[in-house]
Amino acid sequence: MNLFFRLFVIFIESFFRKRLHPLAESVLNLRVLPNDLDLNLHMNNGSYLSLMDLGRLDLLIRTDLAKALVKHRWQPLVGGVNIRYKLSLMPFQKYRLHTKVIGWDEKWFYIEQRFERKNRTIPVGLVKALFRGKNRNLTPEQVLKLIHVNIDPPDIPEAVLKWLSMEAN
């Protein structure tokens, strides 16, 4: 239930926040709630993944991609997540979720999502995602063209390339 409440709040707030360029960073200020906790009384590893959805939603809305999703009945789909947990978040601690598109290829957008507290990275995740139309996947180029953005993709970071090479094996 907690995620639905947060989803609703982020959904509404995102429409009133400053519009973002597709390569700009979304930042959400959040707090660890009791139902985010596991038996060790710190944020559950699955909670991080669910909260990352909220960061991507904020980015979609604030870059105007959400309008295109609704208009064309596209679905945003996650194809993989690689996350590294460095520190823990404890009950009621405040933290920030940073979400940023860091590159794309002919099929996937690559997104970095970092949870930070007091300028220290807690976990950092890499996400590969795409948009699915009625009968096919859309290329990142097609998606960006629809929102009138014509930019070359940034170089895919080494961390993403290493992850992709591990997936290929």
- Residue ranges covered by each domain of the chain: 2-168
- Bridge partners, 43 (sequence order): 37
Chain position carrying tokens 């996937």 = 108
Query: Worst-scoring range by mean pLDDT, 60-64, 89-93, 137-141, 165-169?
Result: 165-169
| Whole-number percent of the chain with pLDDT over 90 | 79
Calpha distance 91→42 (Å, rounded): 6
Give the HSE-up count for residue 122: Cα atoms under 13 Å, Cβ half-sphere. Answer: 20
Nearest Cα neighbor of 143 from 132, 127, 157 is: 132
Q: What is the pLDDT of residue 82?
A: 95
Q: Is 31 in contact with 94 (CB distance < 8 Å)?
A: yes
Q: What is the pLDDT of residue 149?
A: 87
Record the tokens describing residue 110, joined without a space: 């690559």
pLDDT (average), residues 21-44: 94
User: Does the 2-168 domain belong in CATH 3.10.129.10?
Assistant: yes
Residues 6+ apart with CB under 8 A from 102: 110, 111, 112, 154, 156, 157, 160
